[in-house]
Amino acid sequence: MNKRVKDVVEAIVGAVQRVLDEKEVSESEYRNALHYLMKVAETGETALLCDVFFNSTVVATKARTSGGSTPAIEGPYYRDDAPLVDDRLKTYATDDHKPLLINGTVKAVDGTLVENVTIDVWHSTPDGKYSGFHDDIPTDFYRGKLRVGKEGSFRVRTTMPVPYQIPDQGPTGALLETMGGHSWRPAHVHFKVKAPGYETLTTQYYFEGGDWVTDDCCNGVDSSLIAPDLVEEGSRVMNIDFVIEPAREQMGAQA
């Protein structure tokens, strides 16, 4: 018996029951919904569908109590097996997008330097795919792990991502369309900042003035995550000073 699981699942079941009742959902609608969910599972879109609707809510809960940098949704395309990279993500030889330089620092909330920090960086390919998930693109493209230097700074080069359409041919895209919505996300770069003894910071950054920044289908944009339009020597530049907080006990965690 796990009290936390009981608590949360009972609340979810209660919420769904209330909606079925209030909306007077019929048997055929209910069966349609079940078939829909089976299609979601068959097409491997379970994480995608849930992330579209729920990831931002979980992130908002974390953000309320976090003293560190603004967190953001992870999305379904993180790979823990990305390669270590030095100062550049591997990009396609044919990629003619504007160069992007991402640099900044990592510090603890009390301003001190943190040891052994790694930053996972990942973003989509020029054609809006994620390596390691789509089209058999090898996992080392457009993603990598950076080691932050002893002085707390990092720097990596890549190319500019573009607005991203979440897979729109499957059940997730179909549902968004049926609901009169769209399946576009603003161009973004994902980050995961990890250090022993610290809370992992998962976040993403967007580009000032970019399409869909104010209308993300995943509701993932916070104004503090929009990088100003800064260009130096033909390269778009993103300066990010990450702030991470000491690890805390996880709420409700059980052995």
Residues near ligand MBD, by CB under 6 A:
48, 51, 73, 75-77, 164, 166, 185, 218, 220
* Partners of 246 in beta bridges: 198
CB 12, min distance to ligand MBD, A? 21
List all residues 6 or more positions away from 153 whose beta carbon is below 8 Å from its beta carbon. Answer: 103, 104, 105, 106
Would you count residue 75 as binding Fe ion (CB under 5 A)? yes
How far apart (Å, rounded) are the C-alpha atoms in residues 144 and 60? 26
Q: Are strands 184-185 and 164-165 parallel, antiparallel or unpaired?
A: antiparallel
CB of 14 to ligand MBD, least distance (A): 28
The residue type of 145 is K
Quick count: other Cβ atoms within 10 Å of Cβ 36? 13
Q: Based on CB atoms, which residue is closest to Fe ion, 131 or 198?
A: 131
CB of 221 to ligand MBD, least distance (A): 11
Complex with Fe ion: residue 148 or 217, whichever CB lies closer: 217
| Residue 166 binding target from ligand MBD, Fe ion, none, CB below 5 to 8 Å by type | ligand MBD
Partner whose footprint covers residue 68, from ligand MBD, Fe ion, none (CB < 5 to 8 Å by kind):
none
Tokens 């097409």 belong to residue? 43
Where along the sequence are the contacts to Fe ion (CB under 5 A)? Answer: 75
